[in-house]
Amino acid sequence: MTQKREKLVLIGNGMAGVGTIEQILKLGGNYEITVFGSEPHPNYNRIMLSYVLEGSKTVEDIILNDLNWYKDNGITLHTGTTVTRIDEASRQIITADGMSVPYDKVIIATGSNSFILPIPGSTKEGVVGFRDIADCDAMLAAAKQYKQAAVIGGGLLGLEAAKGLVNLGMDVTVVHLMEDLMERQLDHNASSMLQAELERQGVKFAMGKQTVELTGEERVSGLRFSDGTELAADFVVMAVGIKPNVAVAAASGITVNRGIVVNDYLQTSMHNVFSVGECTEHRGACYGLVAPLFEQGMVLAKHLCGADTKPYEGSVVSTKLKISGVDVFSAGEFIESAEHTVISAKDDWKKTYKKILLKNNIIVGAVLFGDVTESANLQKLVKQGTEMTDEIYAELMGTGCCGSGGAKKTMAVETMADEEIVCGCNGVTKKAIVDAVTENGFTTVDEIKACTGATRSCGGCKPVVEQILQFVLGDSFQQSAKQGICTCTPLSRDEIVAEITAKGLKTTKEVMNVLGWKQEEGCSKCRPAINYYLGMIAPDTHEDEKESRFVNERMGANIQKDGTYTVIPRMYGGVTTPEDLKKIADVSLKYDVKVVKVTGGQRLDLIGVKKEDLPKVWEELDMPSGYGYAKSLRTVKTCVGSQFCRFGTQDSMGMGALMERKYERLDFPAKFKMAVNGCPRNCAESCTKDIGIVGNDGGWEIFIGGNGGIKPRIADSFCKVKTDEELIEVCSAVMQYYRETGNYLERTSEWVERMGLETIGAAILDDEVNRKALAARIDFALAQVSDPWKKLLKDDPTRKALFEEARV
């Protein structure tokens, strides 16, 4: 009997709450989830609003989870809906529009509101805060009509708003009560350097000014200060702080102080009601920065999923500001006193400043300006309360021996906890990045960005991501090139393919020589890519270069951490025979295979084969390789379909085996997975495959671009076809179009998002001539490789005729 799922309601659709839900989903939490959000938008990255304001990003660019994400994860989303209270007696969530929703557990993540100064004129037209998309839209609209703006508040948000308005062409003055900018994060030296740099970029300042009134009629026209002076402005942004949004908790009788009071497991005073994010008060502290919110979310997610977790004990806060080349960082204590030992260095020519504070020789705080490459290291040292040593001093202050810095930085990364957040903008942990490298074979920052989201936003975490890559990959690590496919060349993928075609280049060495490679032998990134492009362009003449392939492809098996290999025989459509099973068992016993595992692709994985035994194992198995190591078709997963299932409408096992036999052996830009379902119940999980096929009474539906990895993506519905012939032709065309336009190591999930579904559809569905030409080209390429498909054709005249027709 299926266990009834508990109802989990999230109040608040922001980064903290949805980040917690993401962690719950990753942990396999079995909840029926409902989300309420007051804004009419899906979950977005509030940190990136300043980039939207300055014009470098659009609102669409900062959406973290679009509407399809909620649907695909079975989450009920109510946007534009405000929850007013939680009724504990009836266990119901009550909304402002009269809706009531039952719950078993509740997470409150209502964030915070802009603090609007309670002064005369604060409600006039033209006065806004800076907290959400609506505020950002108001600022963009004002810049088109008005020219003089004032930003009240010289903190992080205020400065980001001011620089954004300057970029929009407004005359902007920052009004700040204190004499130093960001006085809660920076000391006087760093603040002065920041102000000077922002003045150079066009921002004006009125420091030490207390605003007592906003003047004007219906619309604001200026500011009046306590010293009697005034400042003209027809648009005012209030950025003087935030206050936790505790309204729903207070209305529900939950204990509230400055924020919603919680214990170390984020539990409020009401049973089964929890709170995370800016609305939360833990041990007397409310956090307005992102990293603590994700740390809270991780603890709560594990707690709700019954996983082991340490209690949340608070966060060491740090601040990083990046505005048009201005880099500022602070962590822990930053204002020195008599009890501190101060280590500092200031370079007025390079405009850099560094200060580290010690208390009883323990590192308790730091400030950086201009050069923040040591920010992650310093944040860790402050958080861990590390004692200063000569070695750490040499590393931080740049006085160590030449060439030693890199090793020390790697050691610092080595000691980071798995759950430590590297990318504060997107809540990406060290473990997520390490997993992306070890499980997917990623070697560059760009690949990590595409997979995890780290560096996708402000980019401030890029140095740490590079350090993690270096730590995991060791000597094989190479920093991703600013241009080109790698550091060996400035040429892009398309430029290289064009040059190969135009000049008739035949080998990897020839490509590198003619096109002026910086490194004569290339690297582990470009060699396999060029080998693939050569084979894709000229499949009939190119001789595959085994030395250019990854080690797993050269060995025909996946190397494991103990140096042994895993061997995966091919099982077409996930179907095998007793005879083949006996061979697998006999070989496993003979060669002392420790484990035989059923894979997610419906095959058997022989784990622990010694390198010297690989040739004999393959010879005695006498089965095709399952290509579990290759950038090619890995598996075609199937359900039992109409042959056996009472719900099946199509022969999914037969079609799956047909597809797998047809397309095996052919190289793709990245690994490629398929699934064929006999009915819409989708037991073979077509929605997470590169090509997923679902049978119905009228034929087949084709889905493309799915991915079930670290960055899951639900496949897009591409088209419906009525016959097997149409199905094979469309699948062939999609695969060949991907082969010809995909970047090396780019999965179809990324390819579809980069190319656009409409573009792919136009090239294949709307252009019959091109579709047939693509299908013919893939068949031509298949004809150049060893072809077990031909044996199948001998036994099936109908499919042979279909194949010959497709080739023509």
Residue 451 in any domain: the answer is yes
Range with lowest mean pLDDT among 63-67, 78-82, 734-738: 63-67
Same domain for 524 and 661, yes or no, is no
Interval 18-62: pLDDT, tens: 999 999 998 889 999 999 999 999 999 888 888 788 776 778 888
Average pLDDT over every residue of 610-628: 82
pLDDT band for position 555 (cuts 50, 70, 90): low
482 — pLDDT class (breaks 50, 70, 90): very low
How crowded is residue 683: how many other Cβ atoms within 10 Å of its Cβ? Answer: 18
pLDDT of residue 789: 38
- Mean pLDDT on 92-102: 96
Query: Is residue 457 predicted with pLDDT exceeding 90?
Result: no
In a domain, 776, yes or no: yes
CATH number at residue 639: 3.30.413.10
What is the pLDDT at residue 478? Answer: 57
On whether 523 is known to bind a ligand per the annotation, the reply is: no
Domain-terminating residue out of 566, 588, 621: 621
Per-residue pLDDT, averaged over 454-458, amounts to: 71
Q: What is the mean pLDDT of residues 154-173?
A: 90
The residue-averaged pLDDT of 720-745 equals 94
Give the whole-angstrom CA distance, residue 806 versus residue 413: 54
Mean pLDDT, to the nearest integer, of 212-226?
96
In which band, very low, low, confident or very high, does the pLDDT at 550 lie, cut at 50, 70 and 90? low
β-pair partners for 232: 222
The per-residue pLDDT for range 736-791, each reduced to its tens digit, is 999 999 998 899 999 998 899 999 999 999 999 999 999 999 999 988 875 443 44
Given pLDDT bands bounded at 50, 70 and 90, which one contains residue 244? very high
User: Is the domain of 255 the same as that of 280?
Assistant: yes
279 labeled part of a ligand binding site: no
Residue 793 has what pLDDT? 41
- 391 pLDDT exceeds 80? yes
pLDDT range class, residue 401, cuts 50, 70, 90? very low
Torsion (CA) 556, 558, 561, 562 in degrees, nearest 10: -50
Q: For the residues 587-598, what does the mean pLDDT come to?
A: 88
203, 243, 582, 689 from 321: Cα distances, Å: 16, 21, 63, 40
As to burial, measured by CB atoms within 10 angstroms (0-12 exposed, 13-18 middle, 19+ buried), residue 310 is: exposed
CA distance 277 to 294: 8
321 within domain boundaries? no
Q: Tell me whether residue 641 is in a domain.
A: yes
Close Cβ partners of 499 (under 8 Å, ≥ 6 residues apart): 491, 505, 511, 514, 515
Please identify, among 480, 514, 529, the residue that sits at the C-terminal boundary of a domain. Answer: 480
pLDDT band at 206 (very low <50, low <70, confident <90, very high): very high
Most confident of 218-222, 377-381, 611-615, 684-688: 218-222
pLDDT of 174: 97
Q: Which two tokens stand for residue 751?
A: 């390819």
Q: Concatenated DSSP letters for 631-695?
A: SBEEEEEE--GGGT-TT--S-HHHHHHHHHHHHTT-B-SS-EEEEEESSTT-TT-GGGSSEEEEE
SS3 content of the chain, % helix, strand, coil (to 5): 35, 25, 40
- Percentage of residues in the chain having pLDDT higher than 70: 90
Per-residue confidence (pLDDT) for residue 180, from 0 to 100: 94
In this structure, is residue 14 part of a structural domain? Answer: yes
Write down the pLDDT at residue 805: 43
Could you give the number of structural domains in the chain? 6
Residue 618 confidence (pLDDT): 81
Residues 538 and 557 in one domain: no
Is 448 in the same domain as 526? no
* Residue numbers of the domain that contains 270: 6-112+244-304
Least reliable range by pLDDT among 270-279, 552-561, 602-611, 783-792: 783-792
From 304, 325, 348, the end of a domain falls on 304
Mean pLDDT, the chain, rounded, equals 86
Average pLDDT over residues 204-230: 96
Query: Residue 64 has what pLDDT?
Result: 87
| pLDDT tier for residue 402 given thresholds of 50, 70 and 90 | very low
For residue 612, name the pLDDT band (cuts at 50, 70, 90).
Answer: confident
Query: If residue 367 lies in a helix (H) or strand (E), which one and from where to where?
Result: strand 362-369
Which of 396, 274, 387, 380 has its CA nearest to residue 332? 380
698: confidence class by pLDDT, cuts 50, 70, 90: confident
Pair (790, 680) in one structural domain: yes
Residue 364 lies in a domain: no
Average pLDDT over residues 312-321: 78
Given a cut of 90, whether residue 693 has pLDDT beyond it is yes
- The neighbour count for residue 482, using CB atoms within 10 Å, is 7
pLDDT for residue 404: 38
Question: 43 in a domain, yes or no?
Answer: yes
The confidence score (pLDDT) of residue 523 equals 77
- Residue 683 is labelled as binding a ligand: yes
For the domain that residue 100 is a member of, what is the CATH number?
3.50.50.60
Specify whether 72 is located in the same domain as 136.
no
Mean pLDDT for the stretch of residues 204-221:
96
Task: Say whether both 62 and 193 belong to one domain.
Answer: no
* Amino acid, res. 553: E
| 410 or 533, which is more confident | 533
Q: What is the pLDDT of residues 490-505, one digit of tens each?
A: 888 888 999 999 989 9
Name the more confident of 161 and 546.
161
Looking at the fold, whether 670 and 715 belong to one and the same domain comes out as yes
Looking at residue 272, its pLDDT comes to 97
The answer for residues whose C-beta is within 8 angstroms of residue 196's C-beta and 6 or more apart is none
| Higher per-residue confidence, 192 vs 543 | 192
pLDDT of residue 764: 95
Let me know if residue 502 belongs to a domain: yes
Higher pLDDT, 485 or 101: 101
658 shares a domain with 782: yes
Find the CATH number of the domain harbouring 437.
1.10.10.1100
The pLDDT tens digits of the residues spanning 639-662 come to 988 888 888 888 899 999 999 889
pLDDT range class, residue 715, cuts 50, 70, 90: very high
At residue 157, the pLDDT reads 86
Q: How confident is the model at residue 459 (pLDDT cuts 50, 70, 90)?
A: low
The DSSP bridge partners found for residue 572 are none
Do 538 and 558 have their domain in common? Answer: no
Tens digits of residue pLDDT in 323-337: 555 788 888 898 888
**668 and 788 housed in the same domain:** yes
In the predicted structure, residue 800 carries a pLDDT above the cut 50: no
Q: Which residue has the tokens 């692709």?
A: 601
Q: Do 225 and 256 share a domain, yes or no? A: no
Quick one: tokens of 30?
């079995």
Mean pLDDT for the stretch of residues 298-305: 95
Measured CA distances, 61 to 135, 379, 668 (Å): 17, 29, 29
Q: Which amino acid is at 409?
A: K
Q: Identify the top-confidence range among 278-287, 439-448, 479-488, 712-721.
A: 278-287
